[in-house]
Amino acid sequence: MSQQQETIVLIHGLWMTPLSWEKWVERYSSQGYRVITPGWPGLEGDVAEIRRNPERIAGLGIGEVVDHYERIIRELDRPPIIMGHSFGALMTQILVDRGLGSAAVAISTAPVKGIIFLPFSTLKVSAPALLNPLNLHRAVPLTPEQFHYAFTNTLTEAESLKVYERYAVPGPDHLLFQAAFANFNPHAASTVNFENQDRAPLLFIAAEHDHIAPPAVVEATVRLYRRSKARTDYREFPGRSHYILGQDGWEEVADAALAWALANKRS
């Protein structure tokens, strides 16, 4: 099967847009792959416009976003490789559980239902939103300082500000509430059937210095899948933060993710 026939779907995370994948899109496209990066509903388009009008994504939930991607993927002529980052990685797991994709890569995943313990760094990032119930139906941006702690803690403040100005947008805090209280909701939107025996192979990637999704959280997620015979692998990259898609050395991560997917995908 030729590279030209292979489709890769990239799913962005919270506080980001498809632009966060720009380096990966260029790299994969230059190798002959078809790469599509649909935005969450309301998050398509210009970063500046989203910042000016965040109300269009206020109240957006996990289920709506996953259903949006499912419709897109089912319209493709063949199952794609699916890759997601952060909340996009959580959504990638749900999509794979629904039988979609030939292989999938979940990078720095947000917690699915079943993750009990969250480290201090994760709580520090989400606490400002969760402590205000009014944020449930708001789209709230991170401050440059919060962004530096959450995404780019391995960069200087000046370097982080450049990343913030290019990529950061308000995020629908509803998703944070859904993830935070999933274990108390029998019908949580972040539920995955970890025992699914008939799903596509799934690779989890963790970043050593990630404050949002530390390796301990990603490894705990992998352990939840241990009862499934479907392939589930784990790889950790040293020196990386939650900005693993763009910080120095991103090429190694992108190449490793694609190589694994191609080697393990279902025909």
User: Residue 254's closest CA among 6, 2, 10, 46?
Assistant: 10
Helix (H, G, I), strand (E, B) or coil at 91: helix
Q: Which domain holds residue 188?
A: 3-264
CB 46 within 8 A of CB 17: no
Domain count, the chain: 1
Give me the pLDDT at residue 2, please.
Answer: 46
Q: How far is CA 40 from CA 54, 88, 149, 171, in A?
A: 13, 9, 24, 11
Question: Which amino acid belongs to residue 219?
Answer: E
- pLDDT tens for the chain, 267 residues long, are 444 479 999 999 999 999 999 999 999 999 999 999 999 999 987 899 999 999 889 889 999 999 999 999 999 999 999 999 999 999 999 999 999 999 999 999 999 998 887 766 776 777 666 667 666 778 889 999 999 999 999 999 999 999 999 999 999 988 888 888 888 888 899 999 999 999 999 999 999 999 999 999 999 999 999 999 999 999 999 999 999 999 999 999 999 999 999 999 998
CATH number reported for the structural domain that contains residue 239 in this entry: 3.40.50.1820
Q: Are 112 and 192 in contact (CB under 8 A)?
A: yes
